[in-house]
Amino acid sequence: MVSQYFVKPAPGPGATKSAAKAEPANSSAEKKDEVIPSPAQQRAAQVAGEVKAESEQTVTVDTQRYHVVFSNRGAVVRNWILKDFKDGAGKPLDLVYQPALNRVAAPFAIAVKGQALAVDPNTALFQAQQSDGGLTVNFEFSDGRALTKKAFRFQSNSYLIGVTSEVTQNGTAVLH
């Protein structure tokens, strides 16, 4: 019985229609034997393509409460000006301290502990996409192995925002 599975008998001279019907059955049996990719392999396949911007650009979100300027280099905030609050000079308050940007990471930069990423997402040029009347900003970067996504959802008359980020390397989530 086992040999029938490994050794197929040669078709006889009168087996034309039955052989044609047997082939689809065999091909479906072969499909059952195909390896189904694991969820990690499926995520790795999704990362397969490169996604990046060609040049550095800024994305602006302007609401009744604040004016935010993002850079697609690292998908970080460069300015976050509160319209209802003034600084010591009477100007609208900028929450991003500009002189410190050369010494510390910009707001919403990615920090990874205990693992090195193939590409530093804080220097990468992300593709930026703005939607929902300019209140939602999505950033995405992939070098083919590592994928980094950031999403910012603003409300027109509120200080509350939604922030999500995702970092994967070779299809595996990276703590960040």
Distance separating alpha carbons of residues 68 and 77, to the nearest angstrom: 7
Q: What is the pLDDT of residue 21?
A: 47
Confidence check: pLDDT of 160 > 80: yes
Contacts of 118 (CB under 8 A, 6+ apart): 143, 145, 146, 169
Distance separating alpha carbons of residues 126 and 137, to the nearest angstrom: 12
Query: Of 8 and 162, which is predicted with more confidence?
Result: 162
Q: Which candidate, 59, 60, 47, places its Cα nearest to that of 166?
A: 47
Q: What is the pLDDT of residue 49?
A: 80
Confidence check: pLDDT of 15 > 90: no
Q: Which two tokens stand for residue 138?
A: 């999505």
Strand 136-143 with 66-71, pairing: unpaired
Q: Are 126 and 140 in contact (CB under 8 A)?
A: yes
Q: Cβ–Cβ contacts within 10 Å for residue 161, how many?
A: 14
Q: Are 70 and 128 in contact (CB under 8 A)?
A: yes
Q: Are 166 and 147 in contact (CB under 8 A)?
A: yes
Q: What is the pLDDT of residue 36?
A: 61
Distance separating alpha carbons of residues 101 and 84, to the nearest angstrom: 24
Query: Of 52 and 4, which is predicted with more confidence?
Result: 52
Confidence check: pLDDT of 131 > 90: yes
Q: With bands split at pLDDT 50, 70 and 90, how would you rate the model's confidence at 95?
A: very high
Q: Which candidate, 152, 155, 154, 128, places its Cα nearest to that of 139?
A: 128
